[in-house]
């Protein structure tokens, strides 16, 4: 949400109507990736700090430098901050901007996947390993080979296969990789190198990971989202096309790819028959929240489904100071997800 519009919001009324209150209030947290490990919920968010950077469309004001892991016994229990799990100073290849992470478990080890800008100013994706879901995590010396952009989300499918979904346009730099290498022209422009409005929209990427979860096992592929006529969504279809914040969950044998539309502030989803897609656009999961950005995860706990998300209500609309929340998510009898209004009958001003 543009910062100039926050004066139009009555935050007391909004918070009274909100479906959920912030899970953690002593620090600002965002981009929650939630998982159930050993019967307990672990949330891997980014950690918002006020670094004094000016607001811009490249996300320079999102200057996060470490990760905390939040744990909960259930979606309604108290959330616990387990302290710093990984700091940028402990990542040899990374310089700054530890943005939205994710995690996975395999054979008793826990893997934290995270984007960061290297010393060359280019986003890559790294991985760190721990014997505990709350860390501390030890980062690999180098970023994942051939990785790029932001917002890794790792999905474990049946058969012990792990897939990473990633990518984000504008400040996430995905558009600069359209030709297979990083385009350095017009470096200060967040929208340079995007497709034209009547061209197919840029896609998130999907790649299967190696057995040790430390590298890509193949070249990343496009996550193709189709419209009702089985044509790719267009760049100008800003209320439906992919922007950032990939997530994957599986329900009744179908694969649900969900994502943020970024500058139009929706969490949308599309359904496919396999982890690679293509995926058919199916609707909206979450209407706009206060704070411009929208980023989420979806997890099942004891037979119920939950949406983890964030907003900026605690910071009274400050875009880069967000707080993670949770609410129930419902699949209807046909497998479609019921759209969630985060503030009941109130709407966020965007």
Q: Provide CB contacts within 8 A for 334, sequence distance 6+.
A: none
Mean pLDDT, the chain, integer: 94
Phi/psi region, residue 121 (left: phi>0; alpha: psi -120 to 50; beta: rest), is left
pLDDT digits (tens, 9 = 90+) for 194-230: 999 999 999 999 999 999 999 999 999 999 999 999 9
- Residue 204 near residue 258, CB atoms below 8 Å: no
pTM: predicted TM-score of the whole model, two decimal places? 0.95
Q: Assess whether 31 carries a catalytic annotation.
A: yes
For residue 328, what are the β-bridge partners?
306
**Tokens matching residue 58:** 């490249």
DSSP 8: G
Q: Which domains does the chain have, with CATH numbers?
A: 3-329 (2.115.10.20)
Q: Assess whether 219 carries a catalytic annotation.
A: no
- Residue 32 near residue 45, CB atoms below 8 Å: yes
Query: Which among 108, 106, 133 has a CA at the least distance from the CA of 33?
Result: 133
pLDDT band at 346 (very low <50, low <70, confident <90, very high): confident
**Tokens matching residue 180:** 């297979």
pLDDT band at 5 (very low <50, low <70, confident <90, very high): very low
pLDDT band at 149 (very low <50, low <70, confident <90, very high): very high
Q: How many helices (H) and strands (E) does the chain have?
A: 1, 21
Catalytic residue among 48, 102, 237, 244: 244
Catalytic residue among 31, 102, 151, 311: 31
Average pLDDT over residues 250-262: 98
pLDDT at 319 > cutoff 70: yes
For residue 205, what are the β-bridge partners?
166, 222
- Residue 34 near residue 88, CB atoms below 8 Å: no
What pLDDT, on the 0 to 100 scale, is given for residue 136?
A: 98
């Amino acid at each position: 949400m543009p910062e100039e519009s926050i004066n139009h919001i009555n935050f007391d009324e909004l918070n009274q109507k909100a479906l959920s209150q912030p899970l953690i209030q002593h620090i600002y947290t965002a981009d929650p990736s939630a998982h159930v490990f050993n019967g307990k919920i672990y949330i891997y968010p980014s950690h918002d700090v006020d670094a004094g950077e000016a607001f811009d469309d490249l996300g320079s004001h999102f200057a996060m430098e470490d990760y905390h892991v939040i744990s909960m016994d259930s979606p309604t229990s108290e959330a616990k901050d387990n302290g710093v799990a990984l700091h940028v100073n402990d990542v040899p290849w990374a310089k700054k901007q530890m943005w939205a992470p994710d995690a996975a478990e395999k054979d008793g080890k826990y893997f934290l996947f995270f984007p960061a800008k290297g010393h060359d100013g280019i986003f890559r994706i790294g991985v760190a390993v721990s014997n505990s879901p709350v860390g501390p995590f030890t980062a690999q010396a180098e970023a994942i080979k051939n990785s790029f952009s932001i917002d890794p989300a790792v999905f474990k499918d049946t058969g012990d296969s792990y897939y990473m979904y990633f990518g984000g346009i504008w400040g996430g730099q995905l558009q600069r990789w359209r030709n297979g290498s990083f385009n350095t022209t017009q470096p200060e422009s967040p929208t340079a190198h995007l497709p034209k409005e009547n061209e197919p929209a840029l896609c998130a990427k999907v790649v299967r990971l190696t057995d040790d979860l430390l590298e890509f096992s193949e070249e990343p592929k496009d996550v193709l989202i189709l419209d009702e006529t089985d044509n790719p969504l267009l760049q100008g279809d800003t209320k439906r096309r992919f922007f950032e914040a990939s997530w994957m969950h599986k329900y009744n044998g179908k694969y649900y790819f969900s994502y943020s539309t970024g500058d139009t502030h929706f969490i949308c989803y599309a359904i496919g028959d396999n982890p690679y897609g293509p995926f058919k656009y199916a609707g909206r999961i979450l209407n706009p929240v206060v704070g411009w950005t929208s980023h989420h995860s979806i997890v099942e706990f004891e037979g119920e489904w939950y949406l983890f998300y964030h907003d900026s209500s605690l910071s009274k609309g400050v875009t880069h100071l967000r707080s993670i929340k949770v609410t129930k998510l419902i699949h209807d009898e046909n497998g479609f997800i019921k759209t969630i209004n985060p503030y009941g009958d109130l709407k966020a001003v965007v």
